[in-house]
Structure 1
């Protein structure tokens, strides 16, 4: 309940997480049929990079700021194109004044036939999120435990879409709760896409979580990880990953091809790196 993403919006971990989400949404949008986005830990949706929280940490300068000012290869620019489109949509052009969280990325890339359920437990943040979408009939905002949302909202009426789980990792046992969420999502919406964000602090805990997730039974399961300095220690977050169940068929190969360049752009020292793990592959 104490975590506020406004201090970290647009940092290196957001770049990877939101670029992957944008590619998933771009893939879903290639078919005319509507889809649903369910975001269990949604935050406030949109972040002012000139607000006190962003100014106090300045983390966005090492993430979205660095990417926006870099000279990118054609391959990386194409991979980032859906995320760039969301940035332009919320800013009304190429200026970078606001940073979109997962809800704003989803609605910026969505269509009239798509639907959204955004959940945020923090009461003040939930109210801010609801105000952002006043009048948007595509969006419903809830305020309950995020893991309850996963169970309650699945399966979606559309039978296609993505479930985003991005918990704050404030309390012990978060990886156990995530494992149960993977099981719940598979039981209720086995054909849907599931995307989970996780920090990389305790490597053994991360590996145990990925092993448990792989045992759930998804036919395709990919983990994409990045660290901007050597993992370990008690300092600022150095690494994070996203676990994607039922990813678009091209996601792993496309990401693996551009990840070395993305690593170089966001690296803070020689300990930076990244990897794409294919934890399950059908066929």
Structure 2
């Protein structure tokens, strides 16, 4: 049950997409003076070493954040792959760079640390974190303690799907909820849609962000369709973005296409997205594909409704 460790995947292409969008959404939501509550239902350890045993073993960051920085923030600025970098990508890279003052990419901030870096103490924004994995929950508590954020951040070893309910609706009537389980268990897909359905009944104006893997499993293809239906039934706007980096041809095994590839595509579904998000992604997604795309099957999509 507790086999998944995000440390193996920290900084991969899915993280780049997820955190680029998370930062863009938070930038918009923190423009209002009233307090914002951010809930991360599957927080992980919060902070990861890219040169550590886990990330170093998988090497997934090489096809993600490392590749992005090499192309868009090279040591020789004359070799930058894209001259006019999309503002949300620039913001993402600056946020990650803030955790690496040496100038070398050694640390990668997970969603909890990215969110905490953007929340405002003076506005009394709050961050609620849930993590069930015993090792990651312990690491999360230790990492959060180093922030000395006081009452701004609270972490609990609890099922995030259930724990979320206690915070909806928030007193300030403003919330961002990030839901990104591992999906190793098939029931996670149903739990996500059930969680969104329940959350919209409790607090229909919250911003809900769901990450999911794009994999050859019926549940994975059904999830965004189900979320779209729930949003439409609730009369709420939505946005759906996907990024597929494609297969690395040299990793294929004859007769077994895609073996050894790892995850090659992921999606983000947002209910009640900021109106600024779609135009921002219209610029950013093609650039992400240009830099991170690597072979057959690469592509990106962006649609919105409601």
TM-score in same-fold range (> 0.5): yes
CA distance in 1, matches of 2:135, 2:283: 41
Q: CA deviation at 1:90?
A: 2.0
Cα 1:188–1:105 shift into 2, 3 Å: same
Name the counterpart of 2:103. Answer: 94
Name the counterpart of 1:243. Answer: 269
Name the counterpart of 1:131. Answer: 142
Q: CA deviation at 1:208?
A: 2.1
Cα 1:97–1:47 shift into 2, 3 Å: same
CA distance in 2, matches of 1:244, 1:74: 29
Q: Which moved more, 1:190-199 or 1:80-89?
A: 80-89
Q: Report if the CA contact (8 A) 2:242-2:266 is conserved.
A: yes
| 1:123-160 C-alpha deviation (Å, 9 max, x unpaired) | 22111111222232210001111211222221222221
Length, aligned pairs only? 280
Give the aligned CA root-mean-square deviation in angstroms: 1.9
TM-score (norm 1): 0.92
**Runs of 5+ unmatched residues, structure 1:** none
Runs of 4+ in 1 over 4 A off after TM superposition: 232-235
Q: Which moved more, 1:164-173 or 1:250-259?
A: 250-259
Residue 125 of structure 2 corresponds to residue 114 of structure 1: yes
Q: Please list, as runs of the form range in 1=range in 2, the aligned pairs for 1:194-273 lying within 5 A after superposition.
A: 194-202=208-216, 204-216=218-230, 217-229=234-246, 235=260, 236-273=262-299
| 1:179-222 C-alpha deviation (Å, 9 max, x unpaired) | 10110221112111111110001365334222221222252111
Q: Report if the CA contact (8 A) 1:224-1:243 is conserved.
A: yes
CA distance in 2, matches of 1:102, 1:34: 19
CA distance in 1, matches of 2:81, 2:277: 19
CA distance in 2, matches of 1:77, 1:178: 31
CA distance in 1, matches of 2:99, 2:284: 25
**Runs of 5+ unmatched residues, structure 2:** 72-79, 248-256
TM-score (norm 2): 0.86
